[in-house]
């Protein structure tokens, strides 16, 4: 497999295991070490994440990520947060076999749009289908599961305005789910509510293809 393929949901997941990383390694190093595309392999989101997470690194945080694939980013988060609880969601049954031997990583096979977690999380990351309708549905399902002051990340937002992205799913989803207005209308509404003073969001920041929401 190519390095970037380990993070794809369109190829069979492979439980890549490189061994133990150096203690205290930075997030970009860990991303590349475990072959997640969050580092230099593709997206380079890690500098943004590290800016938000550097004061949380040694705390017993709880992190939920939608989209497991080969489990590479879950392993990265587990290494970066040595006291953290890491939970992954994916709808592919074979993803349940990833991350064996990582005691602080739990993988749940379910549809992220209809989750029923009782616990609350400090950090939630949507690296799932990237379909605009799913991004919105995930937000409404998962935002209530985010603690006050918590951080909510949405990756690869460029997919919501890419007409060719529909071809990745080979006609298995309704074309209306891919319409960019699902995402843009939701985001505009969130900004308007925040400006009006009755939103539970305290800040909205965009870093290229990465959106970051902070909960009041």
Q: What is the dihedral of CA 3, 48, 71, 1, to 10 degrees?
A: -10
Q: Is the CB of residue 43 less than 8 Å from the CB of residue 153? A: no
Q: Is the CB of residue 165 less than 8 Å from the CB of residue 177? A: no
Catalytic residue positions? 130
In a 13 Å sphere around the CA of 102, the CA atoms on its Cβ side amount to 31
In 3D, which of 45, 80, 64 has the Cα closest to residue 112?
A: 64
- Report the distance separating Cα 136 and Cα 150, nearest Å: 18
Beta pairing partners, 215: 201
Q: Is the CB of residue 130 less than 8 Å from the CB of residue 156? A: yes
Rg (CA), the chain: 17
Q: Is the CB of residue 31 less than 8 Å from the CB of residue 76? A: yes
């Amino acid at each position: 497999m190519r390095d970037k393929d380990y993070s794809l949901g369109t190829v069979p997941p492979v439980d890549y295991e490189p061994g133990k990383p150096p203690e205290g390694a930075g997030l970009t190093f860990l991303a590349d070490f475990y072959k997640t595309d969050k580092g230099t392999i593709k997206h380079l989101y890690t500098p943004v994440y590290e800016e938000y997470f550097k004061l949380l690194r040694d705390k017993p945080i709880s992190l939920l990520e939608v989209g497991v694939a080969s489990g590479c980013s879950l392993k990265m988060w587990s290494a970066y947060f040595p006291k953290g609880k890491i939970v992954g969601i994916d709808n592919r049954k074979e993803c349940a076999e990833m991350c064996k031997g990582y005691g602080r990583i739990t993988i749940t096979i379910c549809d992220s749009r209809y989750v029923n977690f009782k616990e609350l999380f400090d950090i939630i990351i949507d690296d799932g289908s990237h379909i605009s309708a799913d991004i919105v549905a995930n937000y409404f399902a998962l935002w209530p599961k985010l603690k006050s002051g918590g951080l909510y990340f949405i990756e690869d937002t460029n997919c919501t305005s890419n007409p060719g992205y529909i071809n990745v799913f080979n006609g298995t989803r309704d074309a209306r789910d891919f319409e960019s207005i699902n995402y843009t209308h939701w985001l505009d509404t969130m900004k308007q509510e925040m400006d009006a003073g009755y939103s539970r969001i305290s800040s909205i920041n965009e870093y290229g293809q990465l959106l970051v929401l902070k909960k009041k």
